[in-house]
Amino acid sequence: MKKHNFNAGPSILPREVIEDTAKAILDFNGSGLSLMEISHRAKDFQPVVDEAVALFKELLNIPEGYSVLFLGGGASLEFCMVPFNFLEKKAAYLNTGVWAKKAMKEAKAFGEVVEVASSAESTYTYIPKDYTVPADADYFHITTNNTIYGTELKEDLNVNVPMIADMSSDIFSRPIDVSKYICIYGGAQKNLAPSGVTFVIVKNDALGKVSRYIPTMLNYQTHIDSGSMFNTPPVVPIYAALQTLRWIKAQGGVKEMERRATEKADMLYAEIDRNKMFVGTAAKEDRSRMNICFVMAPEYKELEADFMKFATERGMVGIKGHRSVGGFRASCYNAMPKESVQALIDCMQEFEKLH
Ligand SMILES: Cc1ncc(COP(=O)(O)O)c(C=O)c1O
Residues facing 95 on adjacent strands? 118
Specify the residue with its C-alpha closest to ligand 1, atom 10. 74
Q: Which residues line ligand 1 (CB under 6 A)?
A: 9, 74-76, 99, 143, 147, 166, 168-169, 187
**pLDDT per residue over 221-255, tens digit each?**
999 999 999 999 999 999 999 999 999 999 999 99
pLDDT at 254: 98
Sorted by sequence, the CB contacts under 8 Å of residue 150 that are 6+ apart come out as: 281, 282, 287, 288, 291, 292, 293, 329
324, pLDDT greater than 90: no
From the alpha carbon of 8, which atom of ligand 1 is closest?
Answer: 14
Q: Which of the residues are catalytic?
A: 99, 166, 190
Looking at residues 334-347, what average pLDDT do you find? 98
**Cα of 302 from ligand 1 centre, angstroms:** 31
**pLDDT per residue over 200-213, tens digit each?**
999 999 999 999 99
Element (H, E) at 263: helix 253-274
pLDDT at 49: 98
Confidence of residue 325 (pLDDT cuts 50, 70, 90): confident
Sorted by sequence, the CB contacts under 8 Å of residue 100 that are 6+ apart come out as: 93, 94, 141, 142, 143, 146, 166
> For the whole model, what pTM was predicted?
0.98
From the alpha carbon of 78, which atom of ligand 1 is closest?
Answer: 11
Single-letter residue type at 124: Y
Average pLDDT, the chain: 97
pLDDT at 66: 98
Confidence of residue 165 (pLDDT cuts 50, 70, 90): very high
Is the CA virtual torsion 125, 275, 309, 319 positive or negative? negative
- List phi, psi (to 5°) of 19: -65, -45
**Cα of 103 from ligand 1 centre, angstroms:** 10
> Which of 80, 95, 169, 288 is the pocket-test mutation for ligand 1 (most atoms within 8 Å of CB)?
169
pLDDT at 6: 98
**Cα of 100 from ligand 1 centre, angstroms:** 10
pLDDT at 262: 98
**pLDDT per residue over 39-68, tens digit each?**
999 889 999 999 999 999 999 999 999 999
One-character DSSP codes across 265-322: HHHHHHHHHH-TTEEE-S-GGGB-SSEEEEEE-GGGGGGHHHHHHHHHHTTEES-BPP
